[in-house]
Structure 1
Amino acid sequence: MSAFSILTRGLALFMLAVFIFAPQLFAFAFEPLTANNAPAIYNQGSLLSLTLSHLRIVVGATLASTVVAVALGIFVTRPAGLDFLPLSRSLVNVGQTFPPIAVLAIAVPLVGFGEKPTFIALFLYGLLPIFENTLSGLTQVSPLTLEAAKGMGMSPRQRLFQIELPLALPVILTGIRLSVIISLGTATIGSTVAAKGLGEVIIAGLQSNNVAFILQGGLVVALLAVLIHDGLSVAERAVARRLGRPADETT
């Protein structure tokens, strides 16, 4: 990443932090987008609190997706689980098959309103990229490397945790990055079922025809997505370099 890119991302992070902590400082920029003396800055809750709630549910759902998807990916790449690969693929594709709003509609009668149905939707949506990248990473490990490890007397468990998973980690991290970015955008619809998040700001703007609110919610989500995407990309490249692999293999 060039010095200019680093400077640009640093400035974006600084501006985002200032806006979240002190949004009134930017009222002058949003006032032209309002009408009939409507407030220029979202005033029905704390932007900081909503941002933290948004990130919390995204991180929680991604962690759950990662645990399940990686475990499933490991299982179907073992001799005992090969026959379950088609079924596993069908299961993780469920989240991508149904629109998130449909998942919410099904989940609300089961678990009620709030964060739980949103968590379920994000969890299901996050499975596919992590699962597919886990499969890709594990199956790309050289058979010669595994044979050498076996010749050294390493058990299947040792080969998995000391050879296969470390070598597959950059590819798995790519899947996690994709899952996080998908969830950041998808989480905004959680506000339709009373989940706290930045979707509240967007929905409030749509209900009151206040473009300033809509833009504020959208900008915060977009900047979070860009900054988190870049941060995770840096982590992927660092892991790849540590393994002696070209950095662009993880992109």
Structure 2
Amino acid sequence: MKAWMPVILRGLLLVLLVAFLLSPGSFEPLLKPLVQQNAPAIYNQGSLLDLTLQHLRTVFAATLAATIIAIMLAILVTRPFGAEFLPLSRSLVNIGQTFPPVAVLALAVPAVGFGEKPTLIALFLYGLLPIFENTLTALTNLPRSVMEAARGAGMTDLQRLMKVELPLSLPVMVAGIRLSVTISLATATIGSTVAAKTLGEVIIAGLQSNNLAFILQGGLIVGVLAVLIYDGLSAIERLLTRRLGIT
């Protein structure tokens, strides 16, 4: 029973999140004590469900782009012809971690305008490092016996990459993606400062009107999403690890 408790708790958390997004008014009595008299307890400047879906869309689009580029770079620098590009690649993927997301937004707005685009750029740059480093670590620490067996079987470089290296590296790569998504879920909230449609709108509205209920709603939705997605990707990582027989 104890082993199932985390699963049950996560299931309840998901049910509560869906119920709140579909019918936030039902939770008004719980949030009413947090607001001043006559102030709204439930965010009323837009749909919480729409903002959540747009928030997730922005995060997943940026993460998908970061995953493709980071994995391609890691593959490049682990090939003999691309090894010399490792320092340059590391410098590139570290840009997002070196510059705060707010600074990236400030630099991106003059180039691409307000809205979702600068937020995508900031999240893309911020998400590169964990995926690149995890993929690089996985590809450079594959079992030597397996690689030698693949060469002995007459596999070409491309066949070894597609049939041996990448499949064996998947659990570690998923761990990097998990970290990138979790970071981006929280970071995406600042996109609302440049008119992107994210849950940051709810938090900003709460700060501007001194409405603690708004702030709590935006923060809790982001937090619950982060927990559920983190756990989901962790489960995928464990499943891949078991299937590949990695200890």
Asked whether 1:84 is paired with 2:85, we answer: yes
Question: Deviations for 1:194-237, whole angstroms, at most 9, x for unmatched residues?
Answer: 00010000000000000000000000000000000000000000
Asked whether 1:242 is paired with 2:239, we answer: no
Please list every run of 5 or more consecutive structure 2 residues that lacks an aligned counterpart in the other structure: none
Question: Deviations for 1:110-162, whole angstroms, at most 9, x for unmatched residues?
Answer: 00000000000000000000000000110111222111111111000000000
Question: Deviations for 1:152-179, whole angstroms, at most 9, x for unmatched residues?
Answer: 1100000000000000100000000000
Shift of 1:37: 1.0
1:150 is matched with 151
Give me the whole-angstrom Cα distance separating, in 2, the residues matched to 1:147 and 1:3: 41
TM-score, length basis structure 1? 0.97
TM-score, length basis structure 2? 0.99
Give me the whole-angstrom Cα distance separating, in 1, the residues matched to 2:89 and 2:3: 41
1:228 is matched with 229
1:249 is matched with none
Q: 1:1-251 maps to which residues of 2 (within 5 A)?
A: 2-246=3-247
**4+ runs deviating over 6 angstroms:** none
Identity %: 67
CA RMSD across the alignment: 0.8
Q: Secondary structure at the match of 1:2?
A: helix
Give me the whole-angstrom Cα distance separating, in 1, the residues matched to 2:3 and 2:91: 41
Please list every run of 5 or more consecutive structure 1 residues that lacks an aligned counterpart in the other structure: 247-251
Amino acid at match of 1:166: P
Give me the whole-angstrom Cα distance separating, in 1, the residues matched to 2:217 and 2:32: 12
Number of aligned positions between the proteins: 246
Give me the whole-angstrom Cα distance separating, in 1, the residues matched to 2:17 and 2:130: 28
